[in-house]
Chain A
Amino acid sequence: QITLKESGPTLVKPTQTLTLTCTFSGFSLSTSGLGVGWIRQPPGKALEWLALIYWDDDKRYNPSLKSRLAITKDTSKNQVVLTMTNMDPVDTATYFCARYRWGYDYWGQGTLVTVSS
C-alpha cells in the first residue's frame, strides 16, 4: 500500500521560510524511474506544479519560483523536503506531495499553509 503525507506549519509569517516534509511508504525513491513532486493549490484556484525530485537526485523546479525553492530527499527515511523562502500571502495554498511515474499516481491529503502576519 502506497501512502504519502505532508507535514509542516499551518501558519507562517510573511518573509519567513516554509519547510514541508513528505513522508511516504510503500515504495522506495531509489527505484529507477520514480520521483516525488510538490504541487500547490490556492483556495478556489487551479493546481500549480512546484518541484520534482527523481530517484537519481535530479531536481526540477518551476522557473517562476526557482529562486525560492529547494527540494531534497532522504531515501533512508522515505522523506522528501521542500523549502520555500520569503513567503508571501499569495503563497497561501494547500500543498500536496505526490509520487511521479508516468503521471502523479499517488497523492498525499495535502496541508493548508496560510501566510499571514
Chain B
Amino acid sequence: DIQMTQSPSSLSASVGDRVTITCRASQSISIYLNWYQQKPGKAPKLLIYAASSLQSGVPSRFSGSGSVTDFTLTISSLQPEDFATYYCQQSYTTPHTFGQGTKLEIK
C-alpha cells in the first residue's frame, strides 16, 4: 500500500491567514492526489483533484500543487467556514489511501 503522510496533524490559524498543508506519498503517485475538507458530522467534500485542479464550486482561495511524492494544499486567506479537517488521498493505485488528516483550528 502507498502510505500518505500529512503535516502538520493540527494547525491553529486566524481568519485572513495564508495556510499550507503538506502531504507526502511513500512512492511516486504522479499527480493522482486529491484533497478533501471534512466538517464534524459531515461527509468529506472534494476540494482539489489531480493535484491542482479545483473541483467545481470550490472557492478559488483553495489551491493545490505538487507531483511525484510531495504535495501542498494552500488556503490563501482563511475564512471562518474553512475551519475543518483536511485529508489528502492518492488515487494512483488501489487501495486509495488517505492521509491521517490535518485539523485546522481557530487561533
Chain A interfacial positions (CB closer than 8 Å to B): 37, 39, 46-49, 52, 60-64, 96, 98, 100, 102-105, 107-110
Contacts and interface: CB of A to CB of B under 8 A. Distances in A.
A6 to B, nearest CB: 10
Interface stretch (B14-22, B72-80, B92-100): B92-100
Interface in B32-89: 34, 36, 38, 42-46, 49-50, 53, 55, 87, 89
Main secondary structure of the interface of A (DSSP, over half): strand
Given A64-B1, A104-B34, 17 more contacts: A39-B44, A46-B101, A47-B38, A47-B89, A48-B98, A49-B94, A60-B95, A64-B95, A96-B44, A98-B43, A103-B50, A103-B89, A104-B44, A105-B46, A105-B55, A107-B45, A110-B43
A78 B44 CA distance: 22
Contacts of A105: 46, 49, 55
Contacts of A107: 43-45
A103 B43 contact: no
Interface of B: 1, 34, 36, 38, 42-46, 49-50, 53, 55, 87, 89, 91, 94-101
A103 B1 contact: no
Contacts of B91: 100, 102-103
A110 B45 CA distance: 13
A46 B43 CA distance: 12
Nearest to A104: B46
A102 B94 CA distance: 13
Contacts of A52: 94, 96
B46 A47 contact: no
